[in-house]
């Protein structure tokens, strides 16, 4: 880090207040109609800010954040990577797709270990989200793994399929599981036995994050590993039964299930087996990876831990080495904004609640855990509520704002960043009244932060990592369907300057995106951006 340095920005006049970056998670700019929860919410503060001079729109999806195409929605992980890195790096789906297509994934040591297990009678278990949402996984990656299993003479495969309903339609599970089960039947020839063995909705089974609710992981462990769960003859039978029993239920909250034959689970994990988690996004992959990798895990009683080989499609936390084995190398993100600011001696403060704490720390810092420089940085996590967020759409915004206001008043920090998770986490529920309250909560937090900043003569940079609350439903042939996924809408970029010692103006880039924010923060703090960073959104006039 000592080799990094930032040059002073010519013509810049220092000021005493901090630069505060507010990430309104999931607050995009959508059409001005009643489907848009941001537009429908009462947001006097945001409305006034958007009329200012230092306001523009940023691209927050697709190629602008390293995803394969502009048809891919953004997400919080790649968004915060871009915000903190100042450049665009090839991300999860793109990396995995390239490695599977080139065959590099199958020359890895992890894949060779898998083949060693299966060649001596072990079963390969594939766990992951069955959808084409391309946020946590893509079903095409599963099919590529299955095709390679055929080429490598893997005789026995069990798929443990997690049900989406969040990055895709809220009740679209059969659109993915029906063709998957058909494909597995077609592959089950020439001595091969390929089947779906278990599953469950992603918010109920396996995919917890940030230690919010380990019972979610426990339910996954019991279904996938132990074969404990409600029995059904197939995944499609399970899904249809749950639909029939509770028409109001959406896929992400579907209870776990186990596929059985002759009253016995078809996919219990045993000694000598191999397991691959094919989700590429890290946050909701870490806890289940720990359950497989850690001999002394205490978060729940695993009952039985088989002697098997476990690998992720990627490594989900490089610093903590989670998991120990992986199929595809992660993106190497170096020289992040945080590293440069620490090298320049800038004191910083990062805060969010549990649901997004990793985003303002781990993802912002280029997929690295822990502090860059503990003497200069303070990281604060506010524990999230353990309820569905439509029931408490205010979440922990007030508590976060309390601490940010205190941090501003303290004068101890030159750079403060925070994530208000409401627009995204409540947006994922698809409950319109809750979404509007969530956005209004963010607006109230902005009001309090801006008052605190005005008192000390600071600067606010307000943006978002992607859209979500800006589309609550879609309308097809007069029928509304809840929209619970991220959007591909642009996000706002607002700069509110309360010190007025520098005359900034927009640089009017042709296609600004999230990766331009890091250089902008450098300028606001009085530095030129590193030469290879994407250019600043501002210039001194």
Catalytically annotated residues: 76
Three-class secondary structure of residue 520 per DSSP? helix
Quote the strand ranges of 164-229, DSSP E: 193-201
Pinpoint the alpha helices (H) of 411-538: 422-425, 432-456, 517-524
Residue 399 dihedral angles phi and psi, to the nearest 5°: -65, -40
CA distance 408 to 506: 26
CA distance 128 to 327: 14
Q: Which residues, 6+ apart, have CB-to-CB distance to 474 below 8 Å?
A: 35, 480, 481, 483
CA distance 92 to 263: 39
- Please say whether the beta carbons of 78 and 65 come within 8 A: yes
Three-class secondary structure of residue 517 per DSSP? helix
CA distance 372 to 345: 12
- Residue 283's alpha-carbon distances to 73, 274, 389, in angstroms, are 17, 22, 18
Provide the angle, in degrees to the nearest 10, between the axes of the packed helices 432-456 and 397-410: 10
Q: Which residues, 6+ apart, have CB-to-CB distance to 490 below 8 Å?
A: 28, 29, 57, 58, 59, 60, 467
Q: Taken in order 93, 95, 96, 102, is the CA torsion positive or negative?
A: positive
CA distance 401 to 407: 10
CA distance 26 to 396: 15
Helix (H) / strand (E) element for 143: namely helix 139-151
């Amino acid at each position: 880090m000592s080799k990094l340095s930032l040059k002073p920005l010519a013509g810049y006049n220092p000021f005493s207040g901090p630069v505060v970056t507010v990430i309104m998670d999931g607050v995009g700019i959508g059409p001005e109609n009643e489907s848009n929860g941001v537009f429908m919410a009462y947001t006097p503060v945001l409305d006034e800010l958007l009329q200012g001079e230092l306001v523009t729109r940023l691209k927050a999806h697709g190629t602008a954040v390293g995803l394969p195409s502009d048809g891919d929605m953004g997400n919080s992980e790649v968004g915060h990577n871009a915000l903190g890195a100042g450049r665009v790096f090839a991300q999860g789906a793109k990396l995995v797709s390239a490695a599977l297509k080139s065959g590099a994934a199958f020359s890895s040591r992890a894949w060779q270990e898998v083949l060693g297990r299966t060649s001596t009678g072990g079963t390969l278990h594939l766990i992951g989200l069955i959808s084409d949402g391309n946020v946590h996984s893509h079903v095409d990656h599963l099919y590529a793994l299955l095709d390679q299993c055929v080429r490598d003479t893997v005789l026995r495969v069990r798929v443990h399929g997690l049900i989406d309903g969040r990055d895709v339609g809220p009740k679209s599970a059969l659109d993915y599981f029906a063709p998957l089960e058909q494909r597995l039947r077609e592959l089950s020839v020439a001595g091969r036995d390929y089947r779906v063995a278990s599953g469950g909705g992603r918010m109920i089974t396996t995919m917890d994050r940030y230690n919010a609710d380990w019972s979610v992981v426990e339910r996954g462990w019991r279904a996938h590993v132990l074969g404990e769960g409600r029995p059904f003859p197939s995944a499609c039978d399970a899904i249809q039964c749950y639909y029939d029993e509770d028409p109001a239920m959406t896929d992400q909250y579907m209870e776990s299930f186990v596929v059985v034959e002759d009253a016995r689970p078809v996919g219990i994990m045993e000694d000598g087996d191999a397991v691959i988690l094919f989700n590429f996004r890290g946050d909701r992959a870490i806890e289940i990876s720990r359950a497989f990798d850690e001999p002394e895990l205490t978060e729940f009683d695993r009952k039985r831990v088989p002697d098997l080989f476990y690998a992720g499609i990627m490594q989900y936390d490089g610093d903590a080495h989670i998991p120990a084995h992986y199929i595809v190398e992660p993106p190497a993100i170096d020289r992040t904004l945080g590293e440069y600011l620490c090298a320049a001696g800038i004191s910083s403060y990062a805060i969010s609640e549990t649901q997004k704490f990793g985003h303002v720390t781990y993802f912002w810092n280029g997929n690295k855990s822990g502090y860059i420089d503990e003497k200069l940085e303070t990281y604060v996590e506010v524990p999230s509520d353990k309820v569905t967020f439509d029931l408490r759409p205010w979440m922990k915004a007030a508590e976060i704002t309390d601490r940010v206001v205190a941090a501003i008043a303290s004068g101890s920090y030159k750079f403060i960043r925070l994530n208000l998770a409401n627009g995204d986490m409540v947006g994922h529920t698809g409950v319109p009244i809750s979404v509007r309250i969530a956005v209004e909560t963010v607006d109230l937090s902005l009001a309090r932060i801006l008052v605190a900043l005005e008192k000390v003569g600071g600067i606010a940079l307000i943006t978002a990592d992607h859209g979500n609350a800006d589309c609550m439903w879609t309308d097809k042939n007069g029928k509304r369907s809840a929209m619970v996924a991220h959007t591909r809408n642009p996000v706002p970029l607002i700069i509110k300057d309360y010190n007025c010692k520098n005359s900034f103006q927009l640089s009017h880039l042709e296609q600004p995106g999230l990766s331009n924010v890091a250089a902008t923060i450098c300028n606001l703090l009085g530095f030129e951006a590193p030469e290879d960073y994407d250019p600043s959104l501002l210039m001194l006039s």
